[in-house]
Amino acid sequence: MSSAHLTIGSQEPPRVESLLRLYSMKFCPFAQRTRLILNAKGIPHDIVNINLINKPEWYFKINAEGKVPALLDGSKIIIESLDICDYLDEKYPINPLYPAEPELKKRDKDLITKIGSVTQVFADCVFTNKEKTPEEWLKDFLIPLQDFEDALAQRGTPFFGGEKPGMVDYMLWPWAERAGCIAIKLGTKLPVKDDQIPLLRKWRKTMRDYPIVAEIYTSPEIFWKLVESKLKGTEPKYDEL
Ligand SMILES: N[C@@H](CCC(=O)N[C@@H](CS)C(=O)NCC(=O)O)C(=O)O
């Protein structure tokens, strides 16, 4: 079930016993991470979408900060996308998303902590009106992205997870999916040269076609509508995009 985005004055839909519930917003990259993991592991769940501008009162009992995603598992509530994804990976061993060797798992976790630097540049570029040239933005992006390029080179596999996506792939993907918004915002593509981040660009294309990713893919044009309403300070039409 994927519902319309619930707003102030709404009631929470009845819970289904023994079914995990994910509180989400269709276009939230952090919630997308958790949706990818639920789908990658084939975990039955339902989704309750939250209107993040006019949040339903009851949602603050789930997450006092009012943010999505949040996961309800019986009486247990887990917040923060990375914690939810790790929780799911531990609880549902099918299709493990980290390597079994502790040192390789740590290597993945360390890489995941570097995603924040990528999302920061993305937010600055797309959601603010900072005056920079495309060349300057490219330089800003290449600094954090180089770590990921180096990791792919070191691993020698199409995905960070090997021959199929693992936790690093799914945690990074939502921003790769939205990367098309950069060209829309700047009115031109970033002037990436052929020898810059070639493995990462190939990874992006391969991920785009991977069934778990393709199943919940949203185009940059749709994301852009959400960005525009954020920049204008208007309420996004979550259910009409
Ligand atoms: N660190 C959190 C970030 C979650 C987050 O910022 N979610 C946004 C939507 S994309 C949100 O709920 N915003 C509403 C708010 O801040 O009130 C995570 O990884 O889950």
CB-defined site of ligand 1, < 6 Å: 25, 28-30, 52, 66-69, 80-81
Instruction: Tell me the pLDDT tens digit for each residue of 30-50.
Output: 999 999 999 999 999 999 999
How much distance in Å is there from the Cα of 30 to the middle of ligand 1? 7
Tens digit of each residue's pLDDT (9 = 90 or more) over 43-80:
999 999 999 999 999 999 999 999 999 999 999 999 99
> Best of 37, 68, 88 to mutate for ligand 1, by most ligand atoms within 8 A of CB?
68
- Give the active site residues: 28
Is 5 part of a structural domain of the chain?
A: no
Q: Are the CB atoms for 116 and 64 separated by under 8 Å? A: no
Task: Tell me, yes or no, whether 116 and 86 share the same domain.
Answer: no
Domain shared by 117 and 202, yes or no: yes
Give the mean model confidence (pLDDT) for residues 135-143: 98
Q: Is residue 14 part of a domain?
A: no
Which residue among 48, 69, 96 closes a domain? Answer: 96
Q: How far is the CA of 175 from the centre of ligand 1 (A)?
A: 14
- In 3D space, the residue among 32, 51, 54, 35 whose CA is nearest the CA of residue 43 turns out to be 35
Ligand 1 geometric centre to CA of 157 (Å): 31
Q: How far is the CA of 197 from the centre of ligand 1 (A)?
A: 29
Look at residues 241, 235, 231, 150 and name the one whose alpha carbon lies nearest to residue 197. Answer: 150
DSSP codes, 8-57: TT--PPPPPTT-EEEEE-TT-HHHHHHHHHHHHTT--EEEEEB-SSS--T
For ligand 1, atom 10: residue with the closest CA: 28
* Per-residue tokens: 136: 């300057």
Q: What is the pLDDT of residue 197?
A: 98
pLDDT the model gives residue 2: 58
Closest CA to 66 of 123, 19, 6: 6
In a domain, residue 3? The reply is no
pTM over 0.95? The answer is: yes
Please, are residues 183 and 141 in contact by the beta-carbon 8 Å criterion? no
pLDDT in tens, 191-218: 999 999 999 999 999 999 999 999 999 9
Encoded tokens for 102: 């502790």
User: Which residue, 68, 96, 124, sits at the end of a domain?
Assistant: 96
Judge whether 227 and 185 are in contact, CB under 8 Å: yes
Is the same domain home to 217 and 125?
yes
Number of domains in the chain: 2
Give me the domain span that covers residue 215.
102-231
Same domain, 85 and 111: no
Which residue stretches of 157-210 are H helix? 167-178, 180-186, 198-209
Whether the pLDDT of residue 111 is over 60: the answer is: yes
Report the pLDDT averaged over residues 151-163: 98
38 and 130 within one domain = no
Summary mean pLDDT of the chain: 96
Using CA positions, which residue lies closest to atom 12 of ligand 1? Answer: 67
One-letter amino acid at 135 equals E
Ligand 1 pocket check: which of 27, 67, 181 to mutate, most ligand atoms within 8 Å of Cβ?
A: 67
Residue 166 near residue 98 (C-beta atoms within 8 A): yes
Residues 224, 147 share a domain: yes
Identify whether residues 151 and 187 lie together within a single domain. yes
Percent of the residues in the chain that have a pLDDT greater than 90, as a whole number: 94
State yes or no: pLDDT of 151 exceeds 60: yes
Question: 194: helix, coil or strand?
Answer: coil
| Assigned domain for 136 exists | yes
Claim to verify: residue 121 and residue 80 sit in the same structural domain: no
78 and 187 both lie in a single domain = no
pLDDT band of residue 154 (cuts 50, 70, 90) is very high
Tell me which of 96, 122, 141 is where a domain ends.
96
Weakest mean pLDDT among 1-5, 52-56, 85-89: 1-5
For residue 163, give the CATH number of its domain: 1.20.1050.10
Task: Please report whether residue 237 resides in a domain.
Answer: no
Shared-domain flag, residues 135 and 39: no
pLDDT at residue 198, rounded to an integer: 98
Write the residue with the smallest CA distance to atom 1 of ligand 1.
80
